[in-house]
């Protein structure tokens, strides 16, 4: 299976400096929207606020977390997956290991738990900084998508910046026991997010399902970010966008590390379809609902119809 060319969106300083009412900017917002409509994902390149040096530091930090003793990692447990926590040695995904550190308050708590003997220099500040940059990028792209659909005022009225939070999950995928075999790193699923931002250590394994029903291999260039549509954005677009179906299949002799940043509505915040996106050709697909209640019930539900079951009309 070869790499598949998904759209690339350049967000250099020059691009971000364009006038928001210019035809060039409007063309860029259309390109972002069309990438989401056709593929459910795209690459962001040359985003100067998240330079390649920051990516490298992120993966150095990630590897250090996974190198901690197993008994220490097991201490980072949460009552419900919605709160994050540690996952490892799960019988259904034995190659998969991850830490979900959700919310700035949990960053400090995680540091205190993992390194109680001494302060971990810069860990909290660094992770909070990256989270903030990812949230800023999320809001920019979400606004571009909404404006391209002609519902920019809806975006402004909902104050998405105040009503969203960014969660961080570090992931490690082990090498299959036999170098000649493939192993499921993570089964097929969609992300329960608005948008997901993903970067990795250039070890292959991530695959996405096309609209034609074909699994394609995705390669994230060094320093780039893969952006994937989550099911909350499927609601906000009234089904014009479909959450990206993806999985991880491991092979070869190298471990895969990836870092995901999940943007979701804050606890208790409701989402609904903008009325402007409901017409004869696009009937209303979802009723309004509180997103955190949906996560509480369906976060671990990997069926592709979880959203339809919970809020479909």
Q: How many residues in the chain?
A: 313
Q: What's the chain's Rg over C-alpha atoms?
A: 19
127: helix, strand or coil? helix
Q: What's the pLDDT band for 179 if we cut at 50, 70, 90? A: low
pLDDT at 4: 65
Residue corresponding to tokens 């509180």: 290
Mean pLDDT to the nearest integer, 169-189: 88
Query: What is the rounded average pLDDT of the residues 185-197?
Result: 96
Cross-strand bridge partners of residue 78: none
With a cut of 60, say whether residue 168 has pLDDT above it: yes
* Domain 8-311, CATH class in plain words: mainly beta
pLDDT at position 142? 96
**Quick count: other Cβ atoms within 10 Å of Cβ 50?**
22
Report whether pLDDT(220) > 60: yes
pLDDT in tens, 27-40: 999 999 999 999 99
For residue 1, the model assigns a pLDDT of 46
Flag whether pLDDT at 135 surpasses 90.
yes
- How many Å apart are CA 110 and CA 124, to the nearest integer? 9
Closest CA to 265 of 143, 169, 139, 160: 160
Q: Residue 105 pLDDT more than 90?
A: no
Spatial contact of 144 and 77, defined as CB atoms under 8 Å apart: no
pLDDT at 123: 86
Instruction: Compute the mean pLDDT over every residue in the chain, rounded to the nearest whole number.
Output: 92
Indicate whether 180 pLDDT > 80: no
Question: Which of 67, 25, 35, 7 has the alpha carbon at shortest distance from 241?
Answer: 35
- Give the closest residue to 151 by CA, choosing from 22, 37, 27, 277: 277
pLDDT value for 238: 97
Q: Is the pLDDT of residue 82 over 50?
A: yes
Task: Please list, in sequence order, all residues whose beta carbon lies within 8 angstroms of the beta carbon of residue 167, skipping any fewer than 6 positions away.
Answer: 84, 100, 101, 102, 103, 261, 262, 263, 264
Q: What pLDDT, in 10s, does the model give residues 233-264? A: 999 999 999 999 999 999 988 999 999 999 99
Closest CA to 90 of 34, 171, 22: 171
φ/ψ (deg, to 5) at 165: -135, 150
pLDDT band at 116 (very low <50, low <70, confident <90, very high): confident
Residues 6+ apart with CB under 8 A from 180: none
pTM for the full predicted model:
0.94
Residue 189's pLDDT is what?
96
* Reported confidence tier of residue 211, pLDDT bands at 50, 70, 90: confident
Average pLDDT on 17-44 reads 96
Question: pLDDT tens digits for 284-308?
Answer: 999 999 999 999 999 989 899 999 9
Query: Is beta strand 256-265 parallel, antiparallel or unpaired with respect to 164-173?
Result: antiparallel
Give me the pLDDT at residue 47, please. 94
Place of tokens 């090498």: 175
* pLDDT of 289: 97
The pLDDT of residue 13 is above 50: yes
Give per-residue pLDDT as tens, 273-283. 999 999 999 99
Q: Say if residue 50's pLDDT is above 80.
A: yes
């Amino acid at each position: 299976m070869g790499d598949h060319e998904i759209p690339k969106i350049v967000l250099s300083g020059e691009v971000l400096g364009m006038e928001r009412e210019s035809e060039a900017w409007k063309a860029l917002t259309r390109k972002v929207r069309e990438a989401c409509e056709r593929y459910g994902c795209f690459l962001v390149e040359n985003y100067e606020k998240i330079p390649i040096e920051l990516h490298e530091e992120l993966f150095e930090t990630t590897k250090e977390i996974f190198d901690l003793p197993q008994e220490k990692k097991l201490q980072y447990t949460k009552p419900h997956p919605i709160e994050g926590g540690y996952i490892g040695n799960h019988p259904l995904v034995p190659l998969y290991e991850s830490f979900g550190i959700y919310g700035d308050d949990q960053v400090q708590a995680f540091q205190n738990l993992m390194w109680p003997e001494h302060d971990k220099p810069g860990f909290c500040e660094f992770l909070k900084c990256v989270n903030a940059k990812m949230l800023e990028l999320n809001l920019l792209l979400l606004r571009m998508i909404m404006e391209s659909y002609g519902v920019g005022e809806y975006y402004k009225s909902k104050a998405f910046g105040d009503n969203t939070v960014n969660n961080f999950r570090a992931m490690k995928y082990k090498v299959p026991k036999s170098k000649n075999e493939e192993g499921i790193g993570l089964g097929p699923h969609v992300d329960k997010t608005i948008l997901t931002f993903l970067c990795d250590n250039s070890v292959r394994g991530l695959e996405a399902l096309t609209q034609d029903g074909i699994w394609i291999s995705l390669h994230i260039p060094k320093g780039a970010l893969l952006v994937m549509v989550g099911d909350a954005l499927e609601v906000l677009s009234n089904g014009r966008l479909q959450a990206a179906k993806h999985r991880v299949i491991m092979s070869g002799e190298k471990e895969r590390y990836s870092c995901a940043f999940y943007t979701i509505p804050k606890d208790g915040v409701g989402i609904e379809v903008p009325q402007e996106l409901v017409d004869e050709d696009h009937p209303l697909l979802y009723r309004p609902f509180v997103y955190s209640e949906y996560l509480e019930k369906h976060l671990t539900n990997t069926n592709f119809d979880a959203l339809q079951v919970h809020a479909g009309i």
